[in-house]
Amino acid sequence: MVQVKDQLNRPLRDIRISLTDQCNFRCSYCMPAEIFGVDYPFLPKEEYLSFSEIIKVVQAAEELGVEKIRLTGGEPLLRKDLPKLISELYRRTGIKDIALTTNGIFLPKYAKELKEAGLQRVNISMDALDDDVFKQMNGRSVSIKAVLKGIDAALSAGLGVKINMVVKKGANEDQILPMARYFKERGIVLRFIEFMDVGSTNGWQLSSVVSKKEIFDRINHVFPAEPVNEAYYGEVASRFRYKDGSGEFGVISSVTESFCSTCTRARLSADGRLYTCLFAAKGHDLKTILRSDASADEIKEYIISVWEHRADRYSDERTEETAKNRPKIEMSYIGG
C-alpha cells in the first residue's frame, strides 16, 4: 500500500462519493428552492459515474491508504439499485467503513435492504424537531414525521445512526436544546454543524453562524458535558460527553475553528470530478481517465498526482469578503 500525502503532509484517508446532484429536499443552506426549482438543469443520467467506475476509484483509493468511504449526494437514495453498489464495494474492496448520508425519507423502504447489502451506518440530516421550522428549512414542506420514521427504520434494521443538524442563526438555533434533549434520551449521537459558506447560493454571512462555543454553552447549561479526545486523526467533529453517562454529541466548526491542518478527505462528484476541498472552485476530471483505456495503475497515479499537489486551506484563510466573492462548487453537487 502506498501512503499518499499532500504538500502539507496530510494523508488521503477518506473519500466522499456523490451519487447524484439531485435531492427531494430544497434546503436553504444547500440547494435553495428559488434557484434549484423544477426547471433547474440537473446532470443528465449518462453523465453520472457508473457503479463499475465508482468501484474502480475505490479500489485505487484503497491502495493509497483510504480507509473510509461515505456515499452522499444530493440524496443518494435517489440512485437506482444503491444496495447493489454497497454490496459490490464490500465484495470487491477491503474497505469496511462505508457509510451513507441521507435525509432519511426513503429509509423505511430501503433500510433493511441496505443493511443486508453490508451497510453499517447512516448519517441522517435533520435540522429541527419542530415541524414548522423543519418544513421551512427543507423547502418542500416535508413533515419531520417522515424523517423520524426513517430513523426508526434504520434502527430497526440494525444500522448505526448519527444525526447531522446545520445550525443557522435566525432560522433554527432555538432547536438546539430540543434536538439535544430528544437524541440524548434516545441514545443517538447528534452532531451540530456551523452554517458554512458552501457553494455560492445559500446567502451565507458570518452573522448567520451560531458558533461551536455558543452551541456547547447552550447544551452544557442544561445538560452538563465535557470534551472527549478525538477518536482518530482528522476527525472533524469536536466531541462532548454528557456527564450523566447518557451519551455524547459533537460540533463541526469549520467557520470558527478550522481543521484544515488535519483534513484527510477528498470528494468525488456524481459526474466524476475529484475535489480536494469542500470549498473548492473546480475539480479534477477523473471521469475521462475512467472512460479511457487507462489501467488500474494509471487511475491510481492520477489520484496521487492530484493529492500530492493539494494545498487547500480555505477555512484557515476565510474572511467574510472571500466567502462572498470566491466561487465555490455547490454542496448538492460535491456532497457534504
**Residue 27 annotated as lining a ligand binding site:** yes
**Residue 245 annotated as lining a ligand binding site:** no
Contact 18, 69 (CB under 8 A): no
pLDDT tier, 322 (very low <50, low <70, confident <90, very high otherwise): low
- Ranking 6-20, 130-144, 165-179, 300-314 by mean pLDDT, the lowest is 130-144
Quick one: cell of 117?
A: 447489502
Set out the domains of the chain in order of their start, with CATH numbers: 14-162+262-334 (3.20.20.70)
pTM: 0.92
Residue 200 has pLDDT above 80, yes or no: no
**Residue 170 annotated as lining a ligand binding site:** no
Identify how many contiguous H helices and E strands the chain contains and give both numbers. 12, 12
pLDDT of residue 280: 86
From the list 223, 255, 216, the residue with the least C-alpha distance to 239 is 216
**Residue 196 annotated as lining a ligand binding site:** yes
Quick one: cell of 142?
A: 416535508
Across residues 69-74, what is the average pLDDT? 92
pLDDT of residue 203: 65
Radius of gyration of the chain (CA): 19
Residue 189's Cβ-side half-sphere holds a number of Cα atoms within 13 Å equal to 16
**Residue 87 annotated as lining a ligand binding site:** no
**Residue 110 annotated as lining a ligand binding site:** no
Residue 199 has pLDDT above 90, yes or no: no
pLDDT of residue 239: 97
Across residues 266-293, what is the average pLDDT? 93
